[in-house]
Structure 1
Amino acid sequence: MARFRRKLPPLTGLTAFEAAARLSSFTKAASELGVTQAAVSRQIHLIEEGLGFPLFRRLHRRIELTDKGRALSSSTSAAFTLIAETIDDITREETADGLTISASVAFSHFWLLPKIASFSRACPGVALRIVSQDNNAALDSGDVDLAIRYGNGMWPDGRAELLFDDEVFPVCTPDYAEKLGEHPDLAELVRHPLISYDTEDPSWTGWDEWLAAFSMTLPKRISGMRCSFYTEAIYAALNGQGIVLGWRRLVQNLLDQKALVRVTGQSIATRNGYFVVAPPRSARNERVREFVAWLKAEAQGAVS
């Protein structure tokens, strides 16, 4: 260990080098570290003297990493990031047993929150914080421990595990279903108020796509409420405003309670699925592992 430590430049110098390399400026590095530009320059010069080769090219009014400088910059950046994440993890463990979960408003409201009591009973020492937002929370910010996302599973900020896919079909209240009669066809269906919702997600299924799967075209003029969010659309349907597309994993509780019923037998499978996404640092977090295990067990129960 002593032999290994002798190969390392002083930590002060490495800190100055990492900042200067990341910011491409001795002056900006000095400002970030709260020291003078001359101090940063001196620390980096000492490292270069010890190594026997330059890490930067000093150009007119700018600096540029050498090939060896880029190699060292990559290593120091990765090492400092790992140290920062580890300190963050162990500090969290010492100060709180909290776990922050991000999910869409609809998933939180209709799937996660109705089930969360069983996790709290199993792990009573874990304080949960649920962040509901339709834009994906950035996992590399350190503010979120886990995210539940709908998509294709390919996100650069974490490792994704599939929970389940979904299917989509029209639903309404039992009272409204009486207006449709038994076994209404799709031509009859589109003459009723169709509740829709705004979304910027191209993978989210709307009435146009759903009807197109059955060679139907949405009429140019339709009646029905348009909502900002899927949760609002579901509540509009629950209040008898018409027919909405139900995503089975989200509305299953409402179907079980007979608050909503399926309108037709037709349904389409979604192209994507729901995933739990964990950033690399969460692999060391026991609370995260417990929550993921619980989540996968609940998801398996939902599938079966």
Structure 2
Amino acid sequence: MFLIAIIFRLGNRLQMPKKAPITGKVLPPLDYLLAFEAAAKAQSFAKASKVLNISETAISRKVRLLEQHYDVPLFVRGHRSVSLTQQGAILLATVEKSLDLMRDVSRDMLAKHQANTVSISATNSVASLWLMPQLRKFNKSNGRIRISLVSSDSDAECLSDSMDLTILRGDGDWPGYDAQLLFGETVFPVCSPEYLKNNPTVTSLTALPELDLIEVTSSHAEWMTWHTWLNGNDVSTSLMERAVAFNTYPLSIQAAVDGLGVVLGWAHLVDPLLERGALVRPIQDVSVRTQSGYYLLKNPTQKVFPELRIVEDWLLGLSAVRKRYA
């Protein structure tokens, strides 16, 4: 009795240990829950593997790791099928609701992104030489934003009401549109490194009229030609002969890259080709700067949506970091 009394008194003095708090990650990885849901609905790891397009071994492993996470069995394994335990059935009821809610939200977000395609129109030169080299980087960072690009040298087509943004060359005055300058118009001769090597006189300004000059035939009367550029630099054009003419500027640039002659290069449009060495400036520090430029146009009455703002900010950001020409 004495011994029992002592033990009883000591027991009264002992404090019951507190329940240890849960530490670590409470939520398991999402792929464990997806595997569990698929296996529970199909009542088979093999069928679940076909639903999720992963191996049966991967399904089994993810379910096993989920059971280890909760430290309870979730399935009763059969020969070719599985059935939920009581704990598994309780977990499935909540997991299904949660995953269905996430699927609905994701579906709505994707539908909104896909519906709000941003339409951009631009001249052939800007579309192929300035925009296209930049689109790959944009798509990597904004994969859910779809851009529809229309390339045309017709101002009327570019200013169609169906366009969200337009890039055109001019003086900045388009009635009914907000215009923001992207870059100015600085023009200088460019040619391929091979053409420069085979025609060393291309480095002489006065020798240009006697060389293979590539021209662009444009319906825009204000478009700068070799006559205009040479006269602006006090060079006689009496001996000038055209090597070849193209109806679009991108074709003339490609001809220069292929070594057919010398073409007038618009700064910013030919910058990527100069940077990678496909074209060179045979006469450094000689150029003509006009009062025109390339502007981003937007109708202020049109509907503004998030994707449009993102694309507009991206284009203005490209303008902000552009190379500056005197």
Considering the TM-score relative to the shorter chain, is it more than 0.5? yes
CA contact (8 A) 1:97 1:125 kept: no
Of 247, 254, 265, the residue aligned with 1:246 is 265
Aligned partners of 2:201 and 2:207 also within 8 Å: no
Structure 2 letter corresponding to 1:246: G
Instruction: Report the counterpart of residue 296 of structure 1 in structure 2.
Output: 316
How many angstroms apart in 1 are the aligned matches of 2:254 and 2:226?
Answer: 17
Gap runs ≥5 in structure 1:
1-91
Structure-2-length-normalised TM-score: 0.61
Which of 232, 244, 248 matches 2:251? 232
The equivalent of 1:284 in structure 2 is 304
SS in 2 for 1:106: helix
After superposing the two structures, state which structure 1 stretch, 113-122 or 103-112, moved more. 113-122
CA distance in 1, matches of 2:219, 2:300: 28
Tell me, yes or no, if the aligned pair for 1:203 and 1:272 is still in contact at 8 Å: no
- What does 1:85-100 align with in structure 2 at a 5 Å threshold? 96-100=115-119
Shift of residue 272, structure 1, vs aligned partner: 0.5
- 1:217 is matched with 236
Q: CA 1:118–1:221 in 2, change beyond 3 Å: closer, same or farther?
A: closer
Report what 1:260 is aligned to.
Answer: 279
Q: What residue number does 1:3 align with?
A: none
Aligned length: 213
2-structure distance, mates of 1:223, 1:209: 14
Structure 1 residues 230, 288: closer, same or farther in 2, change over 3 A? same
Corresponding residue for residue 290 of structure 2: 270
Amino acid across the alignment from 1:303: K
* 2:321 partner letter: G
Aligned to 2:185: 166
Spell out, residue by residue over 1:218-266, the C-alpha distance to the aligned partner (whole angstroms, 9 max, x if none).
2355141011111111111111111000111101111011111001121
One-letter code of the match for 1:293? D
AA at the equivalent of 1:160:
A
What is the aligned partner in structure 2 of residue 181 from structure 1? Answer: 200
Aligned to 2:68: none
Task: Indicate if the aligned counterparts of 1:282 and 1:288 stay in contact, CA closer than 8 A.
Answer: no
Flag the 1:230–1:142 CA change in 2: closer, same or farther, 3 A: same
Paired AA for residue 240 in structure 1: G
CA spacing shift, 1:95–1:171, aligned 2, 3 Å: closer
Say which SS state the counterpart of residue 234 (structure 1) adopts: helix
Preserved contact between residue 164 and residue 303 of structure 1 (Cα < 8 Å): no
Instruction: Answer whether contact 1:167 1:267 (CA < 8 A) is retained.
Output: yes
C-alpha distance in structure 2 between counterparts of 1:94 and 1:251, whole Å: 33
Q: Is the Cα contact below 8 Å between 2:210 and 2:239 reproduced in 1? A: no
* Structure 2 CA distance for aligned equivalents of residues 140 and 190 of structure 1: 37
Are 1:135 and 2:151 an aligned pair? no
Residue of 101, 125, 132 corresponding to 1:113: 132
Q: 1:146: how far off?
A: 0.6
Distance 2:312 2:149 in 1: 14
How far has the Cα of 1:123 moved from its partner?
Answer: 2.4
Contact 1:140 1:157 survives alignment (8 Å)? no
What secondary structure, in the 3-state scheme, does the structure 1 residue paired with 2:289 have?
Answer: strand
Q: Which has the larger radius of gyration?
A: 2
Gaps of 5+ in 2: 1-110
Aligned Cα root-mean-square deviation (Å): 2.2
Mean alpha-carbon deviation: is it higher for 170-179 or for 119-128? 119-128
User: Which is further off, 205-214 or 182-191?
Assistant: 182-191
User: 220-229 or 265-274, which moves further after superposition?
Assistant: 220-229
Residues 79-102 of structure 1 deviation map (CA, whole Å, 9 limit, x = unaligned):
xxxxxxxxxxxxx96971211100
- Corresponding residue for residue 22 of structure 1: none
Q: TM-score, normalised to structure 1's length?
A: 0.65
| Contact in 2 for aligned 1:101/1:144 (Cα 8 Å) | yes
